Structure formats: structure tokens, C-alpha cells
């Protein structure tokens, strides 16, 4: 199903497809991490799941450490590479993390929109929207 969401203005001109029903079981960080059973966020109230060995801080470095814990390293691009899985960590203009996406085997990306849908998209279709822009790309060997 093709869709466009006002919070993502580029989704009107670039692919942005709903690929799941709405659910509050997991969020974008968990989806990019590969876990659709819980909500990941380093909140100070300890409401959401966050690994105990990673600083519970809403910083880009904590999110990088989260993905490093499962073998990702930083890379400088979103190019499709058949030897690697890639993720993108988005952030606002103050470099606060806001979102994460995982690259699919066809070069498109998949994201979970909060408590809403999973979507397939391009990096451009999510850029300059409510999640800001990609701050970090990471990859790991398949």
C-alpha cells in the first residue's frame, strides 16, 4: 500500500509503503535491532528496555554502542552492499537520536513509525521529516 505522511514531506515523491498493521509492541530501534518483541529506549525512568551494559542516555553514542553490541561498525554511506547489513540512525538538528531504520536486501529501508506501521522507504523519503536526518550509518557482516 502506497502512502504519504505529512510528518515526512518527501514521502509524497519517493517510495513510502506501509508494510504492517499498527502495533505498540515494538519501536523503530527494536525493529532495526532485529527484535519485534519490546520497545527499546534509554529513558531515565527505566520504563522501556535498554541493555544494562550500555549507558541509559538519549545520546547518539549510546545508540551507536547498542548496535555495536551486535556487531555493527560505523560506515560513511547507505550504499547497498550484498556482504553487509546496514542500519541508519536518525537525529534532530541537535544530534539527539530520534529513529532508526534497517536496509533491506533490495536497497530500500524498513522502519517502524512509533506505535504505528512498519514502512518501506528510501533514505530520501524519510529525510527532513519529523525524525530529522541520518546522523550515522552502521554496517555488519552478513
pLDDT at 5 over 60: no
- Give every CB contact of residue 137 below 8 A, 6+ residues apart in sequence: 74, 75, 76, 77, 78, 86, 87, 88, 89
pLDDT at 39 over 60: yes
Q: What's residue 17's pLDDT? A: 86
Mean local confidence (pLDDT), 106-130: 93
Is 12 strand, coil or helix? helix
> pTM score, two decimals?
0.93
Q: What's residue 1's pLDDT? A: 41
CB 28 within 8 A of CB 114: yes
Going from N- to C-terminal start, the domains of the chain cover 9-141
Amino acid at each position: 500500500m502506497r502512502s504519504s505522511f505529512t510528518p515526512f514531506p518527501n514521502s509524497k515523491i519517493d517510495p513510502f509503503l506501509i508494510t504492517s498493521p499498527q502495533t505498540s509492541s515494538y519501536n523503530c530501534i527494536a525493529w532495526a535491532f532485529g527484535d519485534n518483541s519490546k520497545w527499546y529506549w534509554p529513558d531515565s525512568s527505566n520504563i522501556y528496555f535498554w541493555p544494562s551494559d550500555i549507558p541509559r542516555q538519549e545520546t547518539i553514542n549510546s545508540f551507536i554502542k547498542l548496535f555495536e553490541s551486535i556487531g555493527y561498525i560505523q560506515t560513511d554511506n547507505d550504499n547497498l552492499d550484498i556482504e553487509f547489513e546496514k542500519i541508519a540512525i536518525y537525529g534532530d538538528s541537535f544530534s539527539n537520536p530520534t529513529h532508526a531504520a534497517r536496509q533491506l536486501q533490495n536497497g530500500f529501508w524498513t522502519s517502524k513509525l512509533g506505535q504505528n506501521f512498519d514502512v518501506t522507504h528510501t533514505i530520501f523519503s524519510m529525510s527532513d521529516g519529523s525524525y530529522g536526518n541520518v546522523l550515522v550509518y552502521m554496517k555488519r557482516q552478513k
